[in-house]
Amino acid sequence: MSTKLVIGLDGHTSGERALEFATTLAEQIGNCELLVAYVIEWSPYSFQTAEENAQRHKRREEEISTAKERVVEPAVARLTSAGLTASSVVRHGDVADTLNAIAKQANASQIIVARSTDTRLSKRIFGSSTANLVMEADVPVTVVS
């Protein structure tokens, strides 16, 4: 039986730090599967015009395709070229809730993410996805600084 790790990427340097940590950990563990996950923040409660709603599905598919091409596929290629077993998933939703659901569905042992350096006002008011994930996750979460 192999250990499964979920790596939450964000398309920034923080995601690269999480990927590097997970690579090292997987090499130490040995029999390990890595699941690279990218969550596109998407709220069903956002206010949109009728015109925006008509384009919503198309926009979601384009965002998934772009995330796969620019972030996820290069990460999986990097992991597999290092001799590791890796797969990927891209979903829309709340980052913390979706990463937790991905980990549960994959029967993962751990989620690995990196601390973001985002200091926007929204983070101060609503909290960060990383903090929410740590508080709500059903499996251990490693936060790389």
- Name the domain count of the chain: 1
> What is the average per-residue pLDDT within 10-35?
92
High-pLDDT (> 70) share of the chain, %: 86
110 phi/psi in degrees, rounded to 5? -165, 155
The conformation of residue 82, written as its DSSP 8-state character, comes to T
* CA distances for 96 relative to 45, 115, 138, angstroms: 16, 13, 11
| The pLDDT value given to residue 117 | 61
Higher pLDDT, 89 or 126: 89
Query: Reduced to 3 states, what is the DSSP secondary structure of residue 111?
Result: strand
The conformation of residue 142, written as its DSSP 8-state character, comes to E
Q: Give all strands of the β-sheet with 3-9 in edge-to-edge order.
A: 85-93, 32-41, 3-9, 110-114, 141-144
**Is residue 125's pLDDT more than 60?**
no
| The pLDDT value given to residue 37 | 97
Which range of residues forms the domain containing residue 111?
3-144
- The domain that holds 96 is classified in CATH as 3.40.50.620
